[in-house]
Amino acid sequence: MTSPIQEIKERLDIVDFIRSYIPLQPAGKNFKALCPFHKEKTPSFMVSPERQMWHCFGCGEGGDIFKFLMKYENLEFYEALKILAERAGVELKRISPAEYKQFGILYEINQSAKDFFKKQLEKSPEVLNYLLSRGLKKDTIEEFELGFAPLTQTNTDSLIVYLVKLGYDIKDIERAGLVFKTERGNYVERFRERIIFPIYNHFGKVVGFSGRILSQTQIDADNKQINADISVNQRSSQRESAFAASAAKYINSPETPIFNKSRILYGFHKTKKYILEQKSAVLVEGQMDFLMAYQDGIKNVVAASGTALTLDHLKTLRRVSEELILCFDNDEAGLNAAERAIDLAAASDFNLKILMLKDFKDPAEMVQKSPGALAEQINKAKPIMEFCFDRYLKNFQFPISNFQLVPEFKKNVRIVLAKIKNLASAVERHYWLKELSLRTKIEEKVLAEEMNQIRNEKGVMRNEKRELNTQYSSLNTFSRRELISQRLISLVNIKRDFQAQINEYANYLPLDYLMIFKNMTEGIKLDDERLINLLNVIQLRSSLESSVLDEEKIKQEFLELLRQLKIEYLKERRQELRSLIREAEEIGDEIKLSSVLKEFNEVSKSIQEVKTSDL
């Protein structure tokens, strides 16, 4: 019986699938593209329709259709399986109960909870009227499936009762983040008397919720009641926190196996295609800002889901957008959020702009009071460094003549220089450094010297930039001997005449590659999926190169690789012996030290002999 995984692979063509994410160009019988997993100028990302595999010769990443989706969208295997199964029209009846329990049932519970909240909103005209009074239209409310969580006074409006009647276990409902357990062992619904915003993953599946309290009056009343309850019952700090959270303006689902808020952008499942078309994304702070902007015709908008902007958010956006426009609230919190976003986004090589609203507290209010104005303002968004110049330098007259202002001026200039230093593009850094020189009347070389001394003591910019670059490049950490082994086996796959020669050097291959070599030459079965994937990559490379390699050059390269394989094997052994020498010296074992030193000298001599000998 064909497994669901194999059936999916047979039904979905990898070329068509990957082409839906990145543009592919024909390259003989294969296809090529700029790799989406590391920065490059020349395409080294190859897709083979014959083998239904992909591989990047630049960063070493590769695999099948599952690996591509998991890598591109930051998904767990089960999430990728579910998405691809739906796309291929394959039913997952044969999936293991454990996997279903871990992931699948959480999707179902969230979907059922979303349906419940929607019905409750339909039965609550006063809540619907409140949403309409905030400027939302019925079409928008329906499109994004907003709902309402009642206070729960009877079984008819209890989410717990509703879900249990559908057959869901209370433990799974708790794992989905919809309820929490009190010290007395009772289950309490997390969302009560709140407007509900379903949170979707990037493929349109409900994975969590955000709940907004109706009004400040309700917040004050709830806080008063909670404080009274705490003082009477002397609740523990843990329980006090849980109850106090219920009075916050917004509460969100906790992280679950299917909900990671640092990865999910609110509304991205709807707006991704528009962002891709425009190569531009508008980032706002909250769900209401998103919904009002979307409703006002700004379709390339997204919002973070109950968290600050993260590297994963930026990585997702950078794959579909070249420009990022920050549009945050006009208050101190909005400015602080903008500062952090600037530091992260500038390092990820966006064309970065910012819009700080002057006459409105947030984008939602602007859309409500002045429809169409937000789009006009977005078109006038400032380059990020213009914003920094205004924020930190506008209160100074240049050149500085008042000595009393020098310390503050120096501090602010260093802040601006840190922003410039954090820009990913050398061209941009040069441009803005020159612009800063013109505005402050300070020589460019002086500013450059000052900038080079900045270490970014807070660690935010450089550390997170380094993390972003590490994630973005995603290079595999193969040893030199492993890389040589990959190439050798690939050449044997192209020209089987080499098999006899490599047999003499087989013991110098790392164990994984020895197993792969024996699979190719002796038919030994591979049970390890990691080795199977590695074999597929090697075979893919062989098929891509077989028609373009010169036979004489192949032979020369093959012989030199054999030499290098033995040298690397001996070098690794010599390094092991160095460690053994240190150990013997530390414990004073003269007999062991003498034996190890003898082998060390023999190995060192062998390395020199191999380097100078003919094969």
Give me the residue label for tokens 């409310």.
Answer: 141
Give the pLDDT confidence score for residue 253 in this predicted structure. Answer: 94
Give me the residue label for tokens 């082994």.
Answer: 485
Domains contained in the chain, number: 5
Of 10, 161, 171, the closest CA to residue 105 belongs to: 171
- For residue 62, give the CATH number of its domain: 3.90.580.10
* DSSP structure class, residue 524: P
Same domain, 423 and 374: no
CA distance 146 to 114: 8
Flag whether 461 is in a domain: yes
Same domain, 316 and 413: no
- The residue among 322, 346, 380 that closes a domain is 380
Give whole-number Cα distances, 370 to 295, 353, 380, 459, 472, in Å.
Answer: 13, 22, 16, 41, 40
Same domain, 150 and 205: yes
Same domain, 114 and 38: no
Same domain, 90 and 117: no
List b or e across 268-307, with b for residues whose CB sees 16 or more CB atoms inside 10 angstroms: bbbbbebbeebebbbbbbbbbbbbbbbbbebbbbbbbbbe
The continuous run of DSSP H or E covering 60 comes out as: none
* DSSP structure class, residue 32: E
Same domain, 458 and 482: no
pLDDT for 347-385, tens place per residue? 777 889 999 888 898 999 999 999 999 999 999 999 999
- For residue 332, give the CATH number of its domain: 3.40.1360.10
Range of the domain at 397: 390-466
Flag whether 120 is in a domain: yes
For residue 150, cis peptide bond before it (omega within 30 degrees of 0): no
Same domain, 395 and 367: no
Same domain, 87 and 167: no
- For residue 213, give the CATH number of its domain: 3.90.980.10
Same domain, 293 and 361: yes
- The residue among 337, 352, 380 that closes a domain is 380
Give the pLDDT confidence score for residue 269 in this predicted structure. Answer: 94
Flag whether 257 is in a domain: no
Give the pLDDT confidence score for residue 468 in this predicted structure. Answer: 41
Same domain, 111 and 175: yes
Is the separation of the CB atoms in 489 and 538 below 8 Å? yes
User: Can you give the pTM of this predicted structure?
Assistant: 0.67
Give the pLDDT confidence score for residue 465 in this predicted structure. Answer: 46
Give the pLDDT confidence score for residue 199 in this predicted structure. Answer: 97
Give me the residue label for tokens 């998103």.
Answer: 290
Flag whether 385 is in a domain: no
Same domain, 483 and 595: yes
Flag whether 226 is in a domain: no
Give the pLDDT confidence score for residue 375 in this predicted structure. Answer: 94
Is the separation of the CB atoms in 131 and 141 below 8 Å? yes
- The residue among 35, 70, 94 that closes a domain is 94
In the predicted model, residues of the chain with pLDDT beneath 50 are 219, 222-223, 225-226, 228-245, 456-476
Same domain, 320 and 399: no
**Three-class SS state of 428:** helix
Cα dihedral 355, 360, 361, 367, rounded to 10, equals -80
Give the pLDDT confidence score for residue 245 in this predicted structure. Answer: 47
Residues β-bridged to residue 55: 46, 62
Flag whether 223 is in a domain: no
Flag whether 229 is in a domain: no
Flag whether 404 is in a domain: yes
For residue 509 the two structure tokens come to 């291959």
